[in-house]
C-alpha cells in the first residue's frame, strides 16, 4: 500500500485516515490536541516503512477514542470505528475481540518468527556460497585431470601431417 506521497507504512496511513476523519489537519494537531503529546515525533516515526506503533501509542489512542477499532488498525480488516453495540462497556468482550496485550504478544511473536527466518536465510546463503566454492573446486580438479592426460593422436595422422 503506497499513497501519492510515497508513504508505505500502513500503520501511519491508517492512523492518518482516522485522525483526518475526526477533522484534525495534520500529525501535529492530532498529536498535541487529541493525544496530549508535546509534539508529533511519536506519530512521525510511523512514517518510516517497517516501524510499528508502540504499545503506548495504541493505549493512548484507544483510551482517548473508545470507538477506535484496534483490529482494523492492526489488520486493516473491519471498520475503522466500532459501532455502539461493539463498544458497549457493559457487554462482555467477544472471543474475537483483540486486546492491546494480545496484539502486543502477536507482534512480538511475529518479530521473533521474522528473526528466525532471517537467521535461516543467512545460513542458507552461506550454505549456497560453500556449495558454489565446492563445485568450483571440483570443476577445477576435473579440468586439471583432463589437461594432464596425454593427447593420443593416431600415428597415421602424424605421418599425414608431415607429408
What is the tens place of the pLDDT at every residue in 35-64? 999 999 999 999 888 889 989 999 999 889
Beta strands in 11-105 (DSSP E): none
Whole-model pTM?
Answer: 0.50
Are 74 and 30 in a shared domain? yes
Are 35 and 109 in a shared domain? no
Are 67 and 114 in a shared domain? no
Q: Is residue 131 part of a domain?
A: yes
Q: What is the sign of the dihedral through the CA atoms of 86, 90, 94 and 100?
A: positive
**What range does the domain containing 133 cover?**
99-149
Supply the DSSP symbol for 30: I
In this predicted structure, the answer to whether residue 68 has a pLDDT above a threshold of 80 is yes
Q: What are the distances in angstroms from CA 78 to CA 20, 72, 73, 102? A: 18, 5, 9, 18
Are 10 and 53 in a shared domain? yes
Supply the DSSP symbol for 34: I
Res. 1 pLDDT band, cuts 50 70 90: very low
Are 54 and 116 in a shared domain? no
The domain boundary, picked from 79, 109, 141, lies at: 79
Q: Which residue has the higher pLDDT, 126 or 97?
A: 126
User: Under a CB-based contact definition with an 8 Å cutoff, are residues 18 and 68 in contact?
Assistant: yes
Are 121 and 73 in a shared domain? no
For 7-28, what is the mean pLDDT?
A: 88
Grid coordinates in use for 65?
477514542
Amino acid at each position: 500500500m503506497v499513497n501519492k506521497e510515497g508513504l508505505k507504512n500502513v500503520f501511519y496511513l491508517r492512523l492518518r485516515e482516522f485522525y483526518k476523519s475526526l477533522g484534525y489537519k495534520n500529525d501535529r494537531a492530532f498529536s498535541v490536541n487529541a493525544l496530549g503529546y508535546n509534539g508529533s515525533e511519536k506519530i512521525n516515526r510511523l512514517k518510516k516503512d517497517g516501524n510499528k506503533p508502540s504499545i503506548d501509542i495504541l493505549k493512548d489512542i484507544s483510551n482517548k477514542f473508545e470507538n477506535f477499532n484496534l483490529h482494523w488498525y492492526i489488520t486493516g480488516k473491519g471498520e475503522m470505528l466500532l459501532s455502539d453495540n461493539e463498544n458497549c462497556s457493559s457487554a462482555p468482550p467477544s472471543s474475537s475481540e483483540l486486546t492491546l496485550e494480545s496484539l502486543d504478544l502477536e507482534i512480538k511473536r511475529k518479530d521473533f518468527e521474522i528473526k528466525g527466518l532471517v537467521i535461516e536465510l543467512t545460513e542458507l546463503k552461506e550454505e549456497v556460497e560453500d556449495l558454489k566454492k565446492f563445485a568450483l573446486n571440483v570443476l577445477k580438479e576435473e579440468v586439471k585431470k583432463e589437461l594432464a592426460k596425454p593427447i593420443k593422436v593416431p600415428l597415421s595422422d602424424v605421418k599425414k601431417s608431415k607429408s
